[in-house]
Amino acid sequence: MSGQKRILIVSSNVLFAEVITQSLFSHSSLKLISVYPEAASGEIETIPPDVIIVDEAVGSEELGRILIAARNLPCAQLLLMNLKGNDFVVLDSRQAIIRHTTDLLDTINKDEMMKPKKRSNPEVPFTAIEDAQARAGMYGFLATFYNQRPDKELVQRLRTVGIDSFVRMTEEEDASPDLVQGLSEMGQYIEATMDQEVGEVEQALGVDWTKLFRGISPGYGPTPPYEGIYQGGRQDQIEVLKQINRIYHENGVEIVEDSLNRPDYIGLELDFLRFLAEREVEAWEQEDEELALSNAEKARGFFQEHVGEWVSRFCDHALEHARTDFYRGFLRLTKGVMTEARNEEKI
């Protein structure tokens, strides 16, 4: 029947395929095709399907091949299904082009993209809320990778999302070169390591993260990313710490005493910008323009006096020590975000 939607069911479990088939069989608009994982990538290229339903129990090696094959489809959905837990994850193979920071966020923050944008006050320009949401998401994304050592869950998530699957750069790109190159390198690393054991990739990323951001010992890795160290020529470290602590305290941010990081650590400073951007969003949604503009101004001042003064220099220094393309790309991405923030005055 013409117009049928092609559904590819991938599992080595006959019961899984049977359950899915029985659930969908009554729909005449669907054409159901069931295959084993080892044959899936070939079927994807031959059919090609509109929807791919994959048993979550499929091994990582087979899943990697399926994801690579699916990314070449012009438009398809891939569902990773946990039949026992009665839930699934939806992926989309449609390509996205990164032109600005907000485009990257639409890819990374799928949940945010699905939510309707709030606009409580019709007098507020829609872009005011969108820009603040984009800044909050971007700074939160960067902070997470600086603050958390990569683990198996992160590796699996990166493979599932497949950053490179959502990024197609063109000659017309007007994003900063560092942002474009950084995303490309991160995506290339994910694709190149797709067939490796998750634990192996986790270890490689963990070693690189520790070397780049923890300052284990002099000579091993870059000078650690603390503002007081990089800004020592302007103010001594104690004064920098006092100033940042005061800013955090005035805005209701408490730094845990036994935290592994000082208040001037790169991840905490970026997360503070996320916090201010989220407060700006809340203020816009509550129709409090004065508070929204106040938080935007606080973020702008913090960027200009702190983050914008040293983070790019750290990235340049750290790039000389990065071992993996993933963190080499991540450092360039960070630098690209800093460049966009300075050039567009969007903090």
Least confident window among 21-25, 206-210, 262-266, 278-282: 21-25
What is the number of alpha carbons within 13 Å of residue 277 lying toward its C-beta?
24
CATH of region 5-92: 3.40.50.2300
Query: Tokens 């938080």 belong to which residue?
Result: 295
Highest mean pLDDT among 18-27, 81-90, 327-336: 327-336
Dump pLDDT digits (tens) for 57-69. Answer: 888 788 888 888 8
From its phi and psi, is residue 80 left (phi > 0), alpha (psi between -120 and 50) or beta? beta
Question: Which has the closest alpha carbon to 212: 231, 225, 193, 203?
Answer: 225
Mean pLDDT of 140-168: 77
Domain positions in the chain: 5-92, 101-344
Q: Domain 101-344: give its CATH superfamily.
A: TorD-like (1.10.3480.10)
pTM: 0.65
